[in-house]
Amino acid sequence: MPNVFGKESKKKELVNNLGEVYQKVEREHQISPGDFPSLRKMQELLQTQDFSKFQALKPKLLDTVDDMLANDIARLMVIVRQEESLMPAQVVKGGAFDGTMNGPFGHGYGEGAGEGIDDVEWVVGKDKPTYDEIFYTLSPVNGKITGANAKKEMVKSKLPNTVLGKIWKLADVDRDGLLDDEEFALANHLIKVKLEGHELPADLPPHLIPPSKRRHE
């Protein structure tokens, strides 16, 4: 903002071009479009604000937050999942949940996350070569990629971070805060499921568990 003259004209210019600002922030910080507030509403709110009183951006603070999201949160999620695995499973019954076990005639059977439920082969495997090409561009170490590197690719789906967070939780089958090639392929499969308008499962169905993570009796 100008120090003395032209403040109002500059403010008007920034508000009118807010959409371009959104796009710039999205590209530079890998933020999903769904996590931005309504453009029209934000423009209306900014019209009444004094821009000169806004605090200056602090790059070091942003770096600290990025490090927290990439490392601290990943470690915390491992602990949370370990605790969840010790909790007894809760099954919802009755009402709208009745009749969902009627074989292939149950609601949503074989669709969305249920696709491939009767297949011998892992349903994700058919698209895995495509996902593998992307995986090996994300600098895997010891066959795994970090949450930060996975995020760079996953946000391209433009799904809200809340949804991507649930997908990450489902795909990180071994709960180590990293994704191997099978888990990354699974994450992309679940993104595809969501983009096609289907709901994500509360827990990963047995037929979607990567072959290397299945328990062999």
Q: What are the pLDDT tens digits along the chain (217 aa)?
A: 555 556 788 888 889 999 999 888 888 777 777 788 899 999 999 988 888 888 888 888 878 887 787 677 767 777 776 776 676 655 555 554 444 555 555 555 567 788 888 888 999 999 999 999 999 999 899 999 999 899 989 999 988 888 899 999 999 999 999 999 999 999 999 999 988 888 888 899 999 999 999 875 4
CA 144 to chain CA mean position, Å: 18
Tokens of 120: 């011998």
Residue 54 and residue 67: Cα distance in Å, rounded? 25
Query: Which of these, 149, 142, 183, 170, lies nearest to 71 by C-alpha position?
Result: 149
Residue 190 and residue 138: Cα distance in Å, rounded? 19
